Structures are given as structure tokens and as C-alpha cells.
């Protein structure tokens, strides 16, 4: 399966978070992708950081 975003797809949030823990210096978080229905690692967008937009999977 491939994602239109070109990002690596994880089947579960736990898998994405496990990879993130292997690289503790990277400021990335696991999030659900509506385009491919999988999980990715990425940064929070500016609108989410500033409270303008909602990120349903933020933790």
C-alpha cells in the first residue's frame, strides 16, 4: 500500500510511536492519515500549534 503523501505507512499508532522512540531527537508524532487510512510520523501544523485548527489524534 502506498500513500499519496509519499510518507511511510504504519498499520498502527503503536508501530509509528515505536519507531519515533528509536529517534528521540526528532520532534515528530504519530497521526492518522485520512488519505491512506494508515499512520504516519510528522510534525504538528502551525494552525494546530496555535489553537486555530483541531488535531483529533493529538497526544
What is the domain partition of the chain in residue ranges?
1-54
Given the C-alpha cell 510534525, which residue does it identify?
A: 43
* Residue of 4, 52, 12, 6 lying closest to 31 (CA atoms): 12
Q: Any idea what DSSP says for residue 32? A: E
| Span 3-59, pLDDT tens digits | 998 999 999 999 998 988 887 777 688 889 988 999 999 877 777 777 787 666 444
Q: How far apart are CA 37 and CA 24, in angstroms?
A: 25
pLDDT value at residue 55 = 61
pTM above 0.75, yes or no: no
Q: Any idea what DSSP says for residue 52? A: S
The H-assigned helical ranges of the chain are 13-22, 46-49
Amino acid at each position: 500500500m502506498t500513500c499519496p503523501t509519499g510518507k511511510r505507512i504504519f498499520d498502527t499508532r503503536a508501530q509509528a510511536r515505536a519507531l519515533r522512540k528509536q529517534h528521540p531527537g526528532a520532534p515528530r508524532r504519530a497521526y492518522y492519515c485520512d488519505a491512506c487510512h494508515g499512520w504516519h510520523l510528522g510534525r504538528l501544523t502551525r494552525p494546530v500549534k496555535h489553537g486555530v485548527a483541531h488535531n483529533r489524534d493529538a497526544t
